[in-house]
Amino acid sequence: MDEDISIINSNTRNEKIKNFFLDNKKKLILIISSLIIILVGYFSFKEYLKKQNIIISDKYYSIIINHTETNKDKTITDLIRLVENKNTTYSPLALFYIIDNNLISEVTKINELFDIVIQDLSLDKEIKNLIIYKKALYNADHKSENELLEILNPIINSKSVWKSHSLYLMGEYFFSKNQKEKSKEFYNEIIILENANKNLKVEAQKRLNRDLSE
């Protein structure tokens, strides 16, 4: 008896499953088709990005290998385009190549390129902080103290590994302006900072002992 009931239940369950698939055949086909399309699209897009990255990489190395004084203008144009392409690897590299080789003297233009890299690229947090620090370093001779602090505030108000570098930059900035009290504040912050760069902590202490001990 129990065996008969078990067989009936099994048959009923199988019948329900069969009916479910029959009744929802179109929906199931649509769902499966959509999943296949999504997966194909995802892997196709990844492959596209990979190919694009190779193209951009080849372009970057071609530009710097062929850079000479005679084709300087073309080099600048091509590197600016690479920055504007907003590639997480080669846009920053293109910008730093421009700066390191003094290809553009206009501070405003360099800052525009910095802003593209900082604001428009999906970078790792600490890489972005490094680029912010480099922007401040580039502008140290051009900007006022308020402008420089505005650039560095995202780092100074964080626990970034670049915080001690930013504090040291501001300390040196104020020291060069003979604003010793302001300078001391930033050096002292480095001294008490837990994750401060060891070398910068030593240099900050030297500056405090040697030049700001009065």
Per residue in 20-30, pLDDT tens? 556 666 665 65
pLDDT tens across 155-205, in order?
999 999 999 999 999 999 999 999 999 999 999 999 999 999 999 999 999
3-state secondary structure the chain: CHHHHHHHHHHHHHHHHHHHHHHCHHHHHHHHHHHHHHHHHHHHHHHHHHHHHHHHHHHHHHHHHCCCCCCHHHHHHHHHHHHHCCCCCHHHHHHHHHHHCCCCCCHHHHHHHHHHHHHHCCCCHHHHHHHHHHHHHHHCCCCCHHHHHHHHHHHHCCCCCCHHHHHHHHHHHHHHCCCHHHHHHHHHHHHHCCCCCHHHHHHHHHHHHHHCCC
Residue percentage of the chain with pLDDT more than 70: 75
pTM equals: 0.76
At 51 the pLDDT is 67
pLDDT tens across 115-133, in order?
999 999 999 999 999 999 9
